[in-house]
Structure formats: structure tokens, C-alpha cells
Amino acid sequence: MLPVNVEYVESIIEKERPDGIMLAYGGQTALNCGVNLAQAGILEKYGVHVLGTQIPGIQRTEDRQLFKDSMNQCNVPILKSRTVTNFIDAKVIAQELGYPVIIRVAYTLGGKGGGVAYNEIELHEIVERGLRASLVGQVLIEEYIGHWKQIEYEVMQDYDGNNVIVCNMENVLSMRVHTGDNIVVAPSQTIDNHEYHMLRSAALRATKHVGIVGECNIQYGLDPDSDRYVAIEINPRLSRSSALASKATGYPLAYMSAKIGLGYTLPELENRITKTTTACFEPSLDYIVCKHPRWDFAKFDLVKRKLGPTMKSVGEVMAVGRSFEESLQKSIRMLDIGNDGLVLNRTTMESYDEEQIEEYLSHPDDLILYYVAAALKMGISVEKIYKLSAIDPWFIEKIKNIVDIESKLKQEQLTTSLLWESKKMGFSDKQIARAKDKSAEEIREIRKKAGVLPSVKQIDTLAAEWPAVTNYLYLTYGGNQNDIEVTSDEKGVIVLGAGPYRIGSSVEFDWGTVNMVWGLQENGEKNVSVVNCNPETVSTDYDICSRLYFEELTLERILDIAEFENPKGIVTCVGGQTANNLTLSLAKNGINIMGTAADDVDRAEDRSKFSAELDKLHIQQPRWQAFSNIAEAKSFAQDVGFPVIVRPSYVLSGAAMKVVWSQNELKKYVKEATDVSPDHPVVISKFMLNSLEVDVDGVSNGTDVIIGAIVEHIESAGVHSGDAMMCIPPWRLNNKTIETITEYSTKIAKTFNVKGPFNLQFLIHDDHVYVIELNIRASRSMPFVSKLVKTNLISLAAKAILGKPLPKLPENKWQKIHNFGIKVPQFSFMQLEGADIRLGVEMQSTGEVACFGTSFYDALAKGLTSAGYTLPRTGTALVTVGGSQNKEKLLQPIARLKSLGFKILATEHTAEFFEEKIGDVEVVHKISEPTRKPNIADLLYERKIDFIINIPSTSTLEKYVGMLEDEYQIRRKSLELGIPVLTTIELADSFVKTLEWLRDNQTTKDPIEHYDKID
Amino acid sequence: MSRVTITTKKSSHANKFGKLILDDGTVFDGMGFGYSTTVFGEIVFNTGMVGYTETLTDPSYSGQILTLTYPLVGNYGVPDSSIKDQDGIPKFFESNKIQLRGLVVHELSLTASHWNLSMTLDEWLYNEKIPGISGIDTRALTKNLRTGGVMMAALVVSDTEINVDEIKKQLSSAPNYNSEQFMDTVSTKQEVMYGSEEKSVVVIDTGTKNAILRNIRDLGYKVIKLPWNTSFEKIMSYHPKGVVISNGPGDPQKCPDTIETARKLIENNIPTLGICLGAQIIGLAGNTQTYKLKYGHRGQNKPCVNLENNQVYVTSQNHGYGITPESLNASEFNLWFTNADDKTVEGIKHKKQNCIAVQFHPEAAPGPYDCKFVFEELKHLMEEGKSAEE
């Protein structure tokens, strides 16, 4: 587990001496690293061959000018555009092409830093930002074709030049919106045979010409008024789109591409679904797939929700159905954002006047399709909606079908034929219930009695032309025959996955899901099925389990599947909060929950019950209270004193969780919290300043409890656990505290009869140990703990779930590990235009890295490097700190920095303080005072600052007391310029100590060790 | 910045009574669209995801009821059939009418949207008096055909309730597809010329798609389309540089006149290309045998291996009969292309003479354009007197 950069990869090449290297599988990070390795002559030096697309081929797609030349050579049209390296040239080109123009950045990720400029001022801002984000200092200015159709093709090609199209896709929101943020259907829906094959041929021509070996994605703009088209870009690697295409078709692109990289030809490889036909073919779909992005804008302050050329979503789902309406509404439910479909949701959209709706349709944000539905209800014509939104009328008409069914449901009697009609249009029982003023259970009863049931269909790559041996399945109302049957001797276990990646629930839970499947299989379960809907996951690879249901994680659908499968039981403890939240309702419907009993899970999730149990155990909690009206809340807050934390009872990743400092704020956030989780009461608790947070991950079978590890947060409490840097072993806890935590954990696990994984969060304040919460499920930190401690906690959990004894592990094994492990969050603020990067109780990180080392600083140095921090040897640091307490705390780190030879710059007050204490501090002036020089803005742009320590004023937590515009400006600008900003004292301190350590030490570069064998 | 007017059209003949009744007794209940009538024909399926305009006008579908496995059909409407290119070949249609007897889909798009449309699929079927049925579990139907083989079926679209027993009775006495003779209906009655180039190629019309004519024309030849039973002598009176025997419906054995002509073309070493039915006819002329496939090959994703260079091409196919692989050994041909999936014969080359044939559709329409080189191959035979590969 090492950073993916030239330095570290070279060290591995030097040690391992491989014959070949594959660059197409680690996203843009790996591709860039590979190109850099080649350019630095490292691959040549060690005789390492690139397998798959060669470096010149990669460059022909990545470098804008080379790409243009290549497309011209193979007769594939492209947009009029020019590459520039400075603003003056950009201005000239933009005038030539005419505004609006789009700015694209060379060698970057996810359209990072690009944008549409409607005038010179916007052009200036975007070009400057883009030039800095680009690894090669280039941006492209091109004509803007936002209203064109955006069509993509996934291409496979071998060394012999055999090539096929695996999938094509159409973006519902046209060229206007980055494909990562677009609602995407596969196959394309609105283009005819001529257009389909014209683009297909061009794709094969283009990829052959640039020399792709393996897989690539080509993206087109297609004029909606003619067959004029342009190629936009080629991704010479596996991408988010290729993961989607793999799941959409059942054609495993990465697997095939790897084989091709090794030298196999396409016809030599077999179709892994039929096992009899060749992989050199083009899948034929007999369903429609709809991909829907998951955004988490609500977690970010000041962020712009508008969708455009920069990708902002954090995850996605894929729905399979036999009508567009069905797939679309399924996909909305899969997002797990509280919506039951496009219409008939719990919260009705507010009403708009025509002017507002026109504005919303013209500038899409995450609610665009809801606005289309609203516009249709207002009687705005399809034609007008099309003109404003550039969404093809075909899709608008389909949305109209959904809107029409809604009114039919509201007005007409619920006949069997109307039930069928609504189900075929993707309506859930909940939506129908809402229209009919009944409960979802009642609708389910009526529906089952009428025989309105979904069919189980296979995804088989060949539209039923050949028999499939793999059970890759989905459910649809567009049919009346099941493709498979589950006989009683195939009775198995169903494992629920975690749904879309989002802030707070990412690949960790997929790791849990997959390891649970394997664990169950290792312990003798022959038939393990998985239900999940996230195309980016391994758990949705159809060869992981016996039967894969690419389906919604909703009660209705899980019951459908359970009725079809008649399983021994369902595992809900590895799919994050999405799966966990279904535990109680599934149990109520008579489903056997495998693992901790639903009642016990409920006792942990329900704060009152949980507190009562803790009281019995004499274990303390920070003071809290549940309330349902604002008056009670206010009096509690007054009683314990501000700040307090407000949150809904059932919660993950701090959804709608806030630290509140005043009565007014309290009122505002109570409303937000009830919106997210209306069925559960809202909770406020005392917020304890200056305390440490600790996570415990463990497994129990009800009698024995295994503590995986105690994990300490490097930041003090108040930074969300998902955003905090974490360390094993803890470095600030004394032995007595560790003993107490261990004792509490064991007691709690036993009290709650935990059978499977659990995670406990503690707060340490003045040497007292408080319990914050218990999650009876796999946690975010479990893979991290498992890998460091060399004990796969989920494997143990599988045993526990099946009622098997847990193996005897060495007492406190985690304390005997010699390595240090550090987990560092990865943020994506850059893509979220306007977002502030200050951390708080709302989780904001979109990923994480972890590195192990022989010392704390060894691990931390690698962790920081992996997360994208540059660790300078010398240079200049800008320090701006609010509050005297913070300044005091930073004294030592700054002095240390100075002794390391760094030049210290600081804003007036900060400078004054440090000048007096340590001397030699240079004063710089605020961005808001541009006439006073030297000014921070200039220094940032001139790259005269290597990193910034910016501790927000008064307290890291006081986010809402009033944003200090100037500090925000500093953080935002430096972020946009790629300069590291350290916003907590702990991070600043660790960072400086790491720099010091690096002066005399080198990081280790060892591979991680295997899990210890358990019996 | 957006389209000035949007081109959408609504269906007006959908939501009628509709039933599909198979010879094995299976009854599918759906919604009728297009024209209200009852038809009998062989039911087959096609797995292509686009190209219904081209498919429906392909004469090879004569006598058949076609199921499209892709569930959403009619999305982009149907273009104007009267639009022709400079040589008078229809631009978007493969023949002058819908050739199949009935259409089976899962979902008919009630609204069509495309810059090039002039009518909806529903309207088109109605105008051409062809019934269509939607709301069918086409996947279940396809699996039925895959396991049971293609069979006769009745498709009924009606404005009133349908009497299933009555239709079943009619179905049992309806003429069987296998014994039908299609040439009189699909082939041209007289010669038709396209283009004014000096050199010409004769296309023997056993139900040709216009795409074949377009491709020959694009090679730089005048196209002379002649009836299926034109004699060798008559053909030679046009002094063509070469001859194409086209695709078409039904059993190749039902075209004895064309087989005889093919035999003479080979004998006299006239550069000849056979496509689909044409390939089977050439095969029969050179001592191979043909047979009926269980459920045929109909789609746009069929991988074929060129045995001369081991390249694999994704091809468009539509055939229910094929050349018996075992019969090649004792014939005048070498195997040229083989189906990568089921090893059926996809192309043959005459051992001595300038005669080649492919089972797939190099002219595409619908489907991929990857095999246009087959026409180049014919050109080589005509210009150089030998195959391009040699």
C-alpha cells in the first residue's frame, strides 16, 4: 500500500523487476504515473514493457493536439478548437470561434478545472484555473455544442487489430452535462441505424488509428438536427464508463482487456456468460439500462449545484428494466436519497412560476428531471421543454408517461390493468400507496392477489439467443416469465450490498459485502446471492456469487427477491447503513435476519433504548435528548449550553448533522434533519470541545468478542470520523483508557448479542471514556483494521453469522502488530465549485488512502503523499491562524518549521504573534486588500507558497457563526491552484513533524502482508 | 442554438386487441397496432438493437412474422420512403414496402422523435396493411423459439375481441413457410438500371436489398437488376463485368433457375458474388448441400472469422438456411468465413473460378459496415481477375 507516483513505483520496479506494466486499470492516476515513468526513462532503464495501449497511443488520446491530428488522419471529425498555454491566446481563439466556448484541461481527471465561458471575464477565470490544474499547462478552447446529443462507445481491440463495440450509451442531458453527472441510458435510444453505425465505424477507425490495445471509451457529440458528428475524446483506459458498460452488458471489460494486454486475441477468448460463444462479438441487450449519478451537494457549504462540464457526483447507480420509465424510476429509488421515484414522493416539490421553471430547465442542476416533470404538470409543451433543456423530446415524452400515470392513479380506480400499467412504468408500491392514500403493505397485498408480480430476467449479452450459464439477474414488470427457478435444494443466503457510493459509504462497504460472500462460501454456504445496484463495485461482478440481483435495495424489492428465492436468511450487516436500515422491516415481514437479531440492532440504533442499556452497564454518554418539537430542543440546548450537535436518530456520515451554536441556527437545522429522516425523531447532544475520538472495530458471536483494533483519530473530536486522519495503534491514549475501551467494547457487544461485525465510537474527554454510538454492522474502518492487523474481520463475522465458534486469536493481537497504519481522507473540493474545504461534523471526503509504516511518520509521510500532499524539503509556508488559543498551540510547529529552514509568511495579526515569539516572520496582506503588497493572491498565483496552514478563527467548529470571507478565499484559491492547505492544528503539527522526519529518514516500501490463517 | 422545430409524431393505431398464437399452442396476449388483420407466417427473432426501417423492408423477411428482441421499438420513427438518391435508389428503404407479414415487439414507442422522420412505425404499418403487436414478453418468446425452433404462427390485430380457437384452426391449415415460393413476389419483373457508368454489374434479384445496389454503384459500376430466373445467356447479353446473386427469402432449393444460372456463371468464370440466399444458391451450384437452421441467424452482432487472415468481423445476418459444413469437402469450394460461435459456413470461395460468396450481409443496412471489403473483393475479381487476398 504505497502512493501511486513515479518515486514509489520506481522503487517497486527496482525491487520486483517485472517484465511488464499495465497502466489502464488505475484510472487517470495510474495512466499519468505510467506516462511519467516512461518519460523519465524508468521503464526503459529496467526493461519493463507496457502491456496494452503503448505510451504513444496514450499520448495520442491525452494530448489535445496529437488527438486532433490523429482524428484528422483517420477521417473522424472533431470540433473546431485550439490548444493554448496562456490567456492572451485563449482570448484570440475564443473571439474567432465566438462565445460561448468551452475550456477543457489537458492531462487531468474528471473534466477537472474545465468550464463554459460566455464572456471574456469567465474565460479568464477558467483558463487560469485550467492552466494550473493541467499537468502540462495546456487548455483547449473549443466551440460549445451543449445541445448536441452526447453518445459514447466502448471499444475492445487486440494486438492483431480485431475490434468490437461492447456498448454504446446515450446521455439524457445532452452535451451540456459531463457524462459522469449525466443520466445515461444504454443502449442509445434516439439514434437510428445510420447514426449508430456511422459512429460505431468511426469508433473502430479512431481506436485503430491511435493504437488502442485493450479497452477504450470514445465520446461523440451528435447534432440533433442532422447526422453531423464530432469526436470529443478517447479515454485509453478503463473508466467509470467502462465499469458501467461492463455491468450494463455483462461483458467483463477489465478482465478481457487484461487478457488482451497479455497477448490473447479477442476470438481466442470466450464469452464468460455463455461459456460457449466467443468474446469477439457485440453484446445485444434486451433491456434498457439507466445510470443515475448520486450527488451529495447538501454536505457542502456554498457549493454550486449546477451541472456542467465538471463532474460533481460522488457515485452512481444502474437500473435495468424493460422500459425507460421503469429503469429511470428504479434508478431514483436506488440512489437512497429518500425518493420513491420521479413523482409521488414524500415531499412534494414546491410550485414554480413559469419564469423560474424556464430558468431551471435552461441551467440543469441535480433536480433537472423533477423540473421537467413539474413543467409538464404546469402544462408547458414538450417542445418548449426541449428547447430550454436540450433533453431529446423522446425522453421528455417518457417522463410525461410517468406524470400521466401519476394523475391516473390519483383519479381512477386501482384496477388490475392500472396496477400493471403503473408497475411497467416503474412505480413502487409506496408511490401507488401515496396516490391511493393506502399503505405500501396494502398495495403489496392487493397487487399479489391480482397476480401483478415482477419477472426475474437474465442479463446474458445475447438477448436470449444462446443459453446463459451465469445468473446475472434483474427484476422487471416488462414480462411474465422467469428465466430461472430456484429449487428448494438451492435455498441459500442473500447478502445485501451498500448501494451507490456517496459521502460516507464507499468501497469499504463493498469490500465488506464481497468478503462476507467469500466468508459464507468458505464456511460451506453453496448458494450465496447478492443484491446491489452500484455498477462501480466488485460485489456486482456476476462471478462473485451464485446469483446476482442487480436491483434496488428497497423493502419492496428485497421482499420480491426473498419471495422468489425463499432463502435461509438475509445478511444486512455488511452493506452500510442502506442495508442496515432494512433490518427491522425485513424482520417484521418474516425474513430471517442472519447475524445480530433485528431487535438488537434496533436497540442499538434507537438512542433511547441504547442509552437505557448503557445506563445499566454504567457506561457514560455525552448528554443528549430526542425531541419532536423545537421548544423542547431549545430548552435542552440552553440547559447543557451551546454548542450542541443536532442529528436524526438513524444516521450515517453525518447526514443533516450539524454543530449548532445559537437558538436561531437550531431552529433552521431541526427542519433539515426532519427532512432527511422523517420516520425517526431528531436528537440533540452536548458537543464536547477538546476531546479525542476513538473507533473500535470488532466481531462477536454473542459469546466471544474479538477486538479488531482501537483506532485513534488524529484530529480532535468535531471533525467527522470519515474526514479524520486515523492511526493504529493509538498514540495519545494511556493504558488505562485502552483497557477501559476494551472492557466497554466487550461488555457492549455481549449486551447487544452481537453476531457479526460491530463498530463503536468513543469520546475521550479529561480521561473519561464516553460512548458516542454503536453500529452493529461493518464499518468504514474495517478493511483498514483488517489489513493492518492481518485479520480479516469480515471472515470472522461470516463464522459468527453462521453460529460457528470464533477462532482463538492472540490476546490483544492488534497491540502486538509492529507496524503503524495511517488512514488519510481524500477530498474532491476542486470539482465542487465554490465549496469550502474546512472540515466539520458533516463528512465531506469522497475517498481515503491508507499506508503502513514502521513508525508513525513513516506511515504518515506515505499517507499524505498518497492523498496528494506534496511534502516539500524547503520552501515557504503561509500561516494564518484565528484566535489566541490556536496561535499558542501552533507555536511549536511553526518554530520547528522555521528551524527546518522554511520561510514563514503570515497575515498581520498572526505575524505579529509569531514575530514576537520566534522572529523572522514576513507579513503578507489579505486577498481582500489587493492594493497592499505583498499580497497573498499574487504569491499564490506566482506559486511562491508551498503550503498553507490556515486554522479558521475562534474554533474549527464554528462554521456557521459567519464565514470569514477572506479565509474562505485563501482556502478556495489555494485549492484551485493545487497548494496544500492544512486546516486543523493536529494536521499542521503532524505535517511539520513529518517534514522534519523526512530530513533524516526514508519511507519504507514494503508490500503489505497476507492475512494470518485462521481455522 | 436548439432545433427550430422538433420532429415528433404520435401513434394513432395502437392499443387494439392483439394476439400472437404459435403452432405449439402458446398464446401471447398483447396490444395490437398498425393494421387490423390476421396473418400467418414463420415466426423468427432478430437481436439487432437498431435498424427496424431497414429490417422491415428487407425482402428476406417475406413470409415471416418478426420478433425484435430489443424491447423499445419505434423511438426514431420512419423516414420518408419517397426520397431517392441520384440514381433513383431509395435512400432509406431496402425495398419499396414492408416485406414481413407481422411485427412483434415488447414496447412500441407511441411518440417518435428524430430529425429525419416522416411517420411513426405504427402509421407505417397501418399504411402498408401490416399488423403489429406490442406488450409481448419477447424474451420469453425468443427462448421458446431458441429451444423449440422457428415455427408457424398467427398474428391477429383486431378492433374487437379475438376468438383464439378459430385462429388456431386457421393456423393449422395455413400454408407452411417451408413450402412457399417467394420469388414471384420479391423479384423484379423486368430489368432495372441504376447509374450511367460504362461498366456494369448484374444483380440477380432473388429479393435484393437496395443496399447491395448502392454498394455496387459506389464501386463505380452501373447496376442492372434482373429477375431471379434470368438465364445465363440473357445476363451475358448485357456484357457485365460481374454478377451478384442477392439475398432473399426462403429455401434456396426453390430457385432451380438461379442455381442453373449460377452453375454457368462458375463454368464460364464470370466474376460472381453471392450474398446470403445468393451464397446458398452458389453453393448448390457447386455441389454443396443446404439445410434449415433451427432458429436461424438474425442480428447485427455475429462474429465471423476470415480464415485467410484470422481476422474476426462483426457481421449483420438474416438467414434461416445455410450451407451444410460437411458438404464443403466434396464440393468445388474452400471455406472462406466461418461463424466464430457455432462454426457454421459464413463464406466460401471457389477453388478455381472467380466466384465468392458470403452468408452474412456485407452491405449492412441494418448493421455494421465492417465487411464492405467483400465488395472490394468482387471488384478485384472483375478488374484483376483474381482475389485481392491472393
List chain B residues with CB under 8 Å of A192. Answer: 50-51, 53, 76, 79, 114, 116
CA distances from A150 to A309, A466, A613 (A): 12, 32, 56
Q: How far is A470 from chain B (nearest CA, A)?
A: 16
Is B8-177 a CATH 3.40.50.720 domain?
A: no
Across the range B19-32, mean pLDDT stands at: 97
3-state DSSP assignment of residue A296: coil
A30-77 tens-digit pLDDT: 999 999 999 999 999 999 999 999 999 999 999 878 999 999 999 999
According to the model, what pLDDT value does residue A832 have?
A: 65
Contact A866, A4 (CB under 8 A): yes
Residue A193: list chain B partners with CB under 8 A: 50-51, 53-54, 365-367
Report how far apart, in Å, the C-alpha atoms of A494 and of each of A29, A351, A486, A513, A572 are.
35, 42, 13, 11, 9
Residue A400: the pLDDT is 97
Across the interface, which of B70, B115, B302 has its CB nearest the CB of A286?
Answer: B70
What is the C-alpha R_g of chain B? 21
pLDDT digits (tens, 9 = 90+) for A920-965: 899 998 877 778 888 887 888 788 899 999 887 654 444 433 345 6
Which residue intervals of chain B bear CATH 3.50.30.20? 8-177
Q: Measured between CB atoms, does A417 come within 8 Å of chain B?
A: no
**Distance from C-alpha of A351 to C-alpha of A354, rounded to nearest angstrom:** 10
Mean pLDDT of all residues in A470-477 = 96
For A372-418, the pLDDT digits (tens) are: 999 999 999 999 999 999 999 999 999 999 999 999 999 999 999 99
Alpha helix locations (H) across A136-291? 193-210, 240-249, 253-261
Q: Compute the distance between CA of residue A350 and CA of residue A366 in angstroms, rounded to an integer.
A: 16
CB-CB contact of A168 with A151 (8 Å) = yes
- pLDDT score for A838: 66
CA distance A926 to chain B (A): 43
Name residues whose C-beta falls within 8 Å of residue A800's C-beta, 6 or more positions apart in sequence. A595, A699, A700, A701, A702, A755, A756, A806
Give the one of B8, B45, B106 whose C-beta lies nearest to A478's C-beta. Answer: B106
**B286 min Cα distance to partner chain A (Å):** 30
Residue A482, chain B, CB below 8 Å: the answer is: no
- Please write the tens of the pLDDT for every residue from B351-388: 999 999 999 999 999 999 999 999 999 999 999 876 54
A169 contacts chain B (CB < 8 A): no
Q: Please tell me which of the candidates A146, A281, A481 has its beta carbon nearest to residue B137.
A: A481
Residue B164 vs residue A972, higher pLDDT: B164
Q: Using a CB–CB cutoff of 8 Å, tell me whether A753 touches chain B.
A: no
pLDDT digits (tens, 9 = 90+) for A701-738: 999 999 999 999 998 777 777 788 999 999 889 999 99
Pairing state between β A184-186 and A903-907: unpaired
Q: Does pLDDT of B115 surpass 60? A: yes
Whether residue B139 and residue A457 make contact (CB cut-off 8 A), yes or no, is yes
What is the pLDDT, as a whole number, of residue A962?
39
Rounded CA gap, B366 and A385, in Å? 32
Residue of B nearest to A146 (CA): B1
Q: In residues, how long is chain A? A: 1015
Q: What percent of chain B has pLDDT over 70?
A: 97
In the predicted model, is pLDDT for residue A475 greater than 90? yes
Chain B residues near residue A393 by CB distance under 8 angstroms: 6, 8, 111, 113
Q: A701 CB contacts (<8 Å, ≥6 apart)?
A: A755, A799, A800, A803, A804, A805, A806
> What b/e sequence results for A602-641 when a residue is b if at least 16 CB atoms lie within 10 Å of its CB, and e otherwise?
bbbbbbeebbebbeeeebebbebbbbeeeeebbebbeebe
Full DSSP string of A342-385:
SSS-SSPPPP--HHHHHHHHHS--TTHHHHHHHHHHTT--HHHH
Nearest CA in chain B to A468: B143
**Phi, psi (degrees; rounded to nearest 5) at B355:** -140, 125
Catalytic site residue B361? yes
Q: List the one residue out of B57, B44, B138 whose CA is nearest residue B94.
A: B57
Q: How far is A354 from chain B (nearest CA, A)?
A: 20
Test the B interface: residue of A143, A194, A278 with most B CBs within 10 Å: A194
Q: What is the pLDDT of residue B389?
A: 44
Best CA proximity match to A533, nearest among A564, A516, A509, A517: A509
pLDDT of A1013 reads: 84
Q: Which residues of B touch A289 (CB under 8 A)?
A: none
Q: Which of B42, B54, B123, B363 is catalytic?
A: B363
Residue A402, φ and ψ in degrees, nearest 5: -65, -45
Q: Which residues of B touch A267 (CB under 8 A)?
A: 303, 305, 310, 312, 340
A-B contacts (CB, under 8 Å): 183
A714 close to B (CB below 8 A): no
| Contact B140/A at CB under 8 A | yes
Residue of A nearest to B115 (CA): A225
- Cα of first residue to Cα of last residue in chain B, in angstroms, is 53
Residue in B24, B49, B39, B33 with CA at minimum distance from that of residue B298? B49
Segment A232-240 mean pLDDT: 94
Q: Which of residues 335-364 of B touch A (CB under 8 A)?
A: 340-341, 364
Most A CBs within 10 Å, among B54, B116, B138, B314, to test the A interface: B314
Q: Which string of DSSP letters, residue by residue, matches A431-487?
A: HHHHHHT--HHHHHHHHHHTT--PEEEE--SBTTSS---S-EEEEESS-S--S----
Question: With contacts defined as CB-CB under 8 Å, which chain A residues touch B143?
Answer: 464, 481, 483
Q: Does A451 touch chain B (CB under 8 A)?
A: no
CB within 8 Å: A197 and B364: yes
Looking at residue A843, what is its pLDDT? 78
Residue A57 is inside which H or E element, if any? Answer: helix A55-62
pLDDT at residue A109 tops 50: no
pLDDT tens-digit series, residues A529-550: 999 999 999 999 999 999 999 9
By CB neighbour count within 10 A (0-12 exposed, 13-18 middle, 19+ buried), where does B34 fall? buried
- What is the number of other CB atoms lying within 10 angstroms of the CB of residue A47? 11
Give chain A's mean pLDDT: 90
The domain made up of B183-383 is a member of CATH 1.10.10.10: no
Pairing verdict, β A315-321 and A288-294: antiparallel
Cβ <8 Å between A197 and B366: yes
A674 — pLDDT class (breaks 50, 70, 90): low
C-alpha cell of A820? 503503524
- Report the C-alpha gap between A427 and A431 in whole angstroms: 6
CA distance A193 to chain B (A): 5
- Cα gap A987→A948, rounded to integer Å: 11
Q: Where does A482-550 show beta strands of DSSP type E? A: 493-496, 528-532, 547-550
For residue A198, pLDDT beyond 70: yes
Percentage of the residues of chain A whose pLDDT score is greater than 90:
70
Kindly tell me if the per-residue pLDDT of A619 is higher than 80: yes
CB-CB neighbors (< 8 A) of B366 in chain A: 193, 197
Burial A282-301 (b: 16+ CB within 10 A, else e): bbbbbbbbbbbbbbbbbbbb
Query: Would residue B363 show up in a list of annotated catalytic residues for this protein?
Result: yes
> Which residues share a beta bridge with A624?
A685
Nearest of A376, A361, A560, A573 to residue A474 by alpha carbon: A560
List chain B residues with CB under 8 Å of A281: 301-303, 314, 340-341
pLDDT at A972: 73
Query: Of B94, B106, B255, B276, which one is the catalytic site residue?
Result: B276
Question: Tens digits of per-residue pLDDT, A735-744?
Answer: 999 999 999 9
CATH 3.40.50.880 maps onto chain B at 183-383
Question: What is the reported pLDDT for A669?
Answer: 75
* A222 contacts chain B (CB < 8 A): no
* Cβ contact B113–A394 (<8 Å): yes
Q: Which amino acid is at A90?
A: A
Cell digits of residue A967: 479565509
Do A479 and B137 make contact, defined as CB atoms within 8 angstroms? Answer: yes
Q: Per the CB < 8 Å rule, is B3 touching A276?
A: no
The per-residue pLDDT for range A639-668, each reduced to its tens digit, is 888 888 887 665 444 456 677 878 887 887
Residues 109 through 168 of chain A touching chain B, CB cutoff 8 Å? 146-147, 160-162, 164-165
Minimal Cβ distance to B1: which of A147, A201, A323: A147
Domains of chain A: 6-51 (no CATH), 80-144 (3.30.1490.20), 339-452 (1.10.1030.10), 458-603 (3.40.50.20), 623-687 (3.30.1490.20), 870-1000 (3.40.50.1380)
Q: Nearest Cα to A579, choosing from A600, A601, A599, A547?
A: A601
Which residue, among A159, A229, A284, would best test binding to B if mutated, counting the most B CBs under 10 Å from its CB? A284
Question: Does the distance separating the beta carbons of A281 and B314 come in below 8 Å?
Answer: yes
**Single pTM value for the model:** 0.93
Alpha helix (H) residue ranges in A762-847: 782-789, 793-801
Residue-wise pLDDT tens digits, B49-99: 999 999 999 999 999 999 999 999 999 999 999 999 999 999 999 999 999
Cβ distance B146 to A280 less than 8 Å, yes or no, reads no
| Alpha-carbon distance values, A508 to A27, A333, B268 (Å) | 18, 22, 73
**CB–CB contact A282 B310 (8 Å):** no
Nearest to A192 among B50, B341, B368 (CB): B50
Determine the pLDDT at residue A659. 77
Residue A75 contacts B where some CB pair is shorter than 8 Å: no
